[in-house]
Amino acid sequence: KYIGKTIKLSHANKTPDRTGHENLASEQVLHKLNALKPMNLWLYEFANRLFDARVSFLKTGIYQRPEKKPMPEMSCTCTRLIIYCPGGELDFWVSKEAPAGYEESFWNYLQQLGVKIPNKTGSTFQLEFPTF
């Protein structure tokens, strides 16, 4: 598919019928990822309202701030490489890309925030992504 005359938009169709591989994520991992949907949907809807407000500003010259609905109740603290949801579906996840010492820095940061640190021997899960 081409956009304009010189930019080609590529899209890889990676459905199971095209790749020959089934979804390798376990039901447990899928269930845990579903815990993040409320925040994802909130961010998506707000981004759409913000985009529409900016387009309207370009057309009319009048900026009308988009409505900011209340955020969903979430008990998670996360960075790009760590997700921590105490007692929730997600519990604790550390990316394999996290450098040495990153997890310890995260726990130190939580202590500075006054978050009670649980026993770190609790349940931890890793997201395993298939490589093709």
95: left (phi over 0), alpha (psi -120 to 50) or beta: beta
Q: What is the pLDDT along the chain (132 residues), one digit of tens a residue?
A: 555 666 666 666 777 777 777 766 777 777 777 777 888 899 999 999 999 999 999 999 999 999 989 988 877 777 888 888 877 667 788 888 899 999 999 888 888 888 777 665 444 444 444 443
User: Which pTM was predicted?
Assistant: 0.53
Q: How much is the pLDDT for 4?
A: 60
- Token representation of residue 54: 């900016």
